[in-house]
Amino acid sequence: MKTAIVFGSTGLIGGHLVNQLIQDNYYTKIKIFVRSQTSINNEKVEIINIDFNNLANHKTEITGDDCFFCIGTTKQNSPDKNDYQKVELDIPKEIAQIAKANSVKSFIFISSIYANPNSSGNYVKFKGLVEEELKRLNFSKLGILRPSFLMGKRKENRVGEKIGIFAFTALSPLLFGPFKKMRPISSENVAKAMIKIAKENLQKITFESDEILKL
């Protein structure tokens, strides 16, 4: 009788994640936190409308066994630097803090390849800072996934990402050793890995892109 908590269910990874959780008998309830209406309709799914500007109002709802966090944005979608920081840094940290306070056992987080709290680039810097906070909170089980370019059908058009996927897919046969983690990866496979990390005791916290594929 496990309850999954999902943030980012409408995204590329989150969509696959929810579909897989619905099919997985390990979970009898899936709590999905969304800002707007969703077409998801299943008896296992509880849809909770959330105000990300007032997360404290949802403390009693962020409860369950395993929390899956897939929320992310781009500079294009969040051009204001304060909004960008809120989505990439402030929101995941606050949700993790609430989840820990509510005795949620596992937190599974989608980070980024080359995440580094000391980076000069905000994207990988914020991901690295969230990773640090998650480790500090000391969940019973923590999973940090650092996927490379994600393959899958997005709702929005990301030209730069498409170019990167094309280039690194072509170069994949030449990427060995420490460069294997740069190979593009299917968003569906990332979702599968998130669930496996939550369900099993893998004795590992951080998974680079090539390690995610092995799961």
pLDDT (tens digit, 9 = 90+) per residue, 33-88? Answer: 998 878 888 999 999 999 999 999 999 999 999 999 999 988 888 899 999 999 99
At residue 158, the 3 state secondary structure works out as coil
Tokens 């905000």 locate to 122
pTM: 0.88
Tokens 């306070």 locate to 101
CB-count exposure of residue 214 (10 Å: 0-12, 13-18, 19+): exposed
Q: What value does the mean pLDDT take over residues 151-178? A: 54
Q: What is the spatial distance between Cα 131 and Cα 141, in angstroms, rounded to a whole number?
A: 13
pLDDT band at 168 (very low <50, low <70, confident <90, very high): very low
